[in-house]
Amino acid sequence: MERPRFVRSYETQVLSDHLKELAEKNIDEVTYKELSEVAKSNVQAEGRGALMRARKIALDERNEYWDCIPKVGLRLLTDSQRIAKAPSQRRSIRRKVVKTLKTAQVRDYESLTDAEKYNQQATLTLAAFVGQASSETSHKKILEAVEEKHRQLALTETAETLKLFRSS
């Protein structure tokens, strides 16, 4: 017997459609009250999951990032605002890494099965890697490398352009 295809809930679909319409009309803010009226449920209570899913759909399918305005509603971020928000998300990742490292540290390592030991070691290794990669120092090193590469490319492009003028 074939399983029925997944169907989005009514609330999720109407919220997703509404966010899409707002973005198309260049309306970048919407209140929770308006969203609750559209969904016919309180998006700050029982309709919260549908709103979270609609925001995820907007990001995944249309590359629209709707950020929360606490106790007010949502705001569609511009590309510059999205880039400005990234450092706080990197700090959030680091907090989660620290929590993962603390959670994976066991009190009685010898009581674990071999499979549990391997899983714990893999988790600790991955968390340490993500922690290192998301550090401020790593970000600065990567930023410097990107800037240097752009400078090199700009010089190469300028040299190629000058060759065109010299050969004519």
The residue that leads in pLDDT, 3 or 93, is: 93
**Average per-residue pLDDT for the chain:** 90
Q: What is the pLDDT of residue 1?
A: 62
What is the rounded average pLDDT of the residues 56-77? Answer: 96
What is the rounded average pLDDT of the residues 132-144? Answer: 88
Q: What confidence tier does 4 reach under pLDDT thresholds 50, 70, 90?
A: low
Reading the block at residue 139, the tokens are 């970000």
Q: What is the pLDDT of residue 118?
A: 94
Torsion, Cα 74 76 78 83, to 10 degrees, reads 50
Q: Tell me: pLDDT of 67 over 70.
A: yes
Reading the block at residue 133, the tokens are 């990669």
Q: What is the pLDDT of residue 115?
A: 95
φ, ψ at 46 (rounded to 5°): -70, -20
Q: What is the pLDDT of residue 46?
A: 94
Its pTM stands at 0.70
154, HSE (Cβ side, Cα atoms, 13 Å): 6
Q: Tell me: pLDDT of 111 over 80.
A: yes
What is the rounded average pLDDT of the residues 83-102? Answer: 89
Reading the block at residue 67, the tokens are 């950020």
What is the rounded average pLDDT of the residues 99-120? Answer: 91
Q: What is the pLDDT of residue 134?
A: 85
Q: What is the pLDDT of residue 166?
A: 73
Q: What is the pLDDT of residue 135?
A: 86
Q: What confidence tier does 161 reach under pLDDT thresholds 50, 70, 90?
A: confident
